[in-house]
Structure 1
Amino acid sequence: MSREQELFEGGVAVITGAGAGIGMGLARRCGEIGMTVIVTDIEEARARSVADAIMAAGGRSEAQRLDVADPAALDAFAADVFARHGEVRLLVNNAGIETLGLTWEIPAARWEQTLSVNINGIVHGVRAFVPHMLKAGKQAWIANLASVGAFGQMPTQTAYIMSKHAIQAFSECLYLEMEVAGAPIHVSSVIPGMLKTSIFDAAAGKGEPEGAARHRAKMAHMMANYGMDLDEGCHKIIAKIAAGEFWVDTQEQMTDDIVAGRVAFLQSRAAPAMGAETKALLED
């Protein structure tokens, strides 16, 4: 039996944004190791499809529509989950969107949506669930989705990059707050590299400026050709969460390289500069 099965089998996993992408992969893995997986997504049909697949494979799952940009909805959802299940062993705050385009060209509505989902969705997910976890008094795990982008810079991906910097900082502080509170809650920052998901699909760019489509297509091509297999990456993520690691990455060398670059940038206090790969990506 694997370490993750020892810790998580029979427990409840709540995963936001699990109707596609990394959330879907994590939901499938949690189902495989014997958890009851509560699959949430802003699109109920997608959540239902993932939950049905988990159950068809012999697992236990529920589906629910959830808009993580709505704090009141998160409060009600957390209360309902604990009322019905008594505890949540693993909370994965995964829901997030990618937004492309120059800062001043992105419409206000798209900016608000991105920040509300990527930052506030995680903050309020923690705020809604932790009081119930503390009251239950049992060991629990919280994993927040950051990114290798949390340590870098990327023009025209500013909205996404800044949100992931924020989540990395939030998770670091939350980890320390659990120590201050003496809480039996483990915190992990999930730092995926490039996994094969649908985050750069054209349909996900609704509301972006017109010029973002070209960049989105290039990123989708790069992901399809060089990304890690989704299930492979999600297996690594769940294993590292179970191992109690704070830094939960999928491609260790990629993390090492980008963190080393960040450290060098901070130490030098130089102006931000684009590398050759970034320039090539942005060229017509």
Structure 2
Amino acid sequence: MSALEVFGGGVAVITGAGAGIGAGLARHAHRLGMSLVLADVDAAAVALLRDEVIAAGGSAVDVVCDVRDPEAVAELAERTYRDIGPVRLLVNNAGVEQFGYLWDTPVSNWNRVMDINVSGVFHGVRAFLPKMLAEPSQSWVWNLSSIGGVAAVPLQAPYIISKHAVLALTECLRLEVQLAGHDDHVHVQAVLPGAVKSNIFEAAGGVDADSAGTAVSAAESQREAMLDIKAAAMDPVEAAEVVFEQAAEGAFYLLTQPEYVSTAMADRAQVLTTQVPPQLRTTQRFDPDKH
């Protein structure tokens, strides 16, 4: 079946919808005729996207929601089911980056990455999934991991760790939905984007201002390297189209650039199979999902 046949006419809830791949997923969901619930901490960004969708003849509401707050996410779910209807697609997408040596990472920055990238996904699952399980209609849960979820990358450890965690969470969740006997109508899928254009690098955290010069230099050097990758990154709407089609076909791992991301997955499998420690490669950097 096509993405239009599977998702058209349903309700999509997307966190981190204000920019990057979140906005791309929202724009393509609108093309498919979905009603959108656009959630983000950036009120202006989601309001602009809401107006864009409505001006194009679509249906959208914007909600300011911090996924770190479980009560806020629970209210998002309650409001959606009360005012709009059953959710066909939940996209737990909100995410942030962090650069620098792990030992130079401020505790507050570590907590920010984990609270948004990992706990934010958990809060979305906990708030929405029971309602989705209770509905007889088909529904989908997408959790945004990354190519970084199958790679080891220096100077981005908190982000990489968080995306490994989201991938494991999603794999476990799929098994639990199956174990509970709901996999006939609730479909759990992991999204692993490669390089997709966004402003996540510019907004990424770094090290403390009073850190040693070498620590600051390393963090900023990694930021610049990622910005170089961004220049040739995939358009978010194009990435979204690929993801929707793979999801409609029933894939579990949804890859924006299948060949590129699959290579990273194969490399990871080889490392685990041979048990060779990760090697520092100055000429190759895996680009984590930039959403």
TM range (shorter): over 0.9
Distance 1:222 1:9 in 2: 33
Once residues 207 and 272 of structure 1 are traced to their aligned partners in structure 2, the CA distance between those partners, rounded to angstroms, is 24
SS at match of 2:283: helix
Aligned to 1:34: 33
**Contact 2:139–2:186, Cα closer than 8 Å, also in 1:** yes
Q: How does 1:114-129 map to 2 (within 5 A)?
A: 114-129=113-128
- Superposed CA offset, 1:77-125 (max 9, x none): 1111111123000000000011111111111111101000000000110
**Consecutive unaligned residues in structure 2, runs of 5 or more:** 209-215
Cα distance, 1:27 vs structure 2: 0.4
Conserved in 2, the CA contact under 8 Å of 1:150 and 1:168? yes
Displacement after TM superposition at 1:167 (Å): 0.8
| Preserved CA contact (<8 Å) 1:22 1:230 | yes
Which of residues 217, 221, 227 in structure 1 aligns to 2:228? 221
| TM-score, normalised via structure 1 length | 0.93
Residues in 1 aligned to 2:224 and 2:19: alpha-carbon distance in whole angstroms: 19
Matches within 5 A, 1:1-284: 3-183=2-182, 184-201=185-202, 204-206=203-205, 208-209=207-208, 210-211=216-217, 212-224=219-231, 226-278=232-284
User: After alignment, is 142-151 or 5-14 more displaced?
Assistant: 5-14
Cα contact 1:10–1:35 (8 A) shared by 2: yes
Q: TM-score of the superposition, structure 2-length normalised?
A: 0.91
What do residues 182-231 of structure 1 show as CA deviations (whole Å, max 9, x unaligned)?
21100110010111222112xx035544432332122112211x212222
CA contact (8 A) 1:86 1:136 kept: no
How much has 1:278 moved relative to structure 2?
A: 4.4
Contact conserved, 2:11 with 2:85, CA < 8 A, in 1?
A: no
8 Å CA contact retained: 1:15, 1:40:
yes
User: Aligned partners of 1:256, 1:16: CA distance in 2, in Å?
Assistant: 26
Q: How many pairs align?
A: 276
Maintained 8 Å contact 1:99/1:205 = yes
Deviations 1:147-181 (A, max 9, x none): 11111101111011111111111111111111111
Contact 2:98 2:205 in 1 (8 A): no
Alignment root-mean-square deviation, CA: 1.6
Q: Deviations over 1:217-260 (max 9, x none)?
A: 22112211x21222211110111122221010011111221111
Kindly tell me: are residues 30 and 222 of structure 1, through their superposed partners in 2, closer, same or farther at Cα, counting changes over 3 Å? Answer: same
Q: In structure 2, how many angstroms separate the alpha carbons of the residues matched to 1:247 and 1:206?
A: 28
Secondary structure at 1:134's aligned position in 2?
Answer: helix
Letter in 1 for 2:266: A
Distance 1:199 1:62 in 2: 24
Name stretches of at least 5 consecutive residues in structure 1 with no aligned partner.
Answer: none
In structure 2, give the amino acid aligned to 1:221: D
The whole-number CA distance in structure 2 between the counterparts of 1:41 and 1:228 is: 22
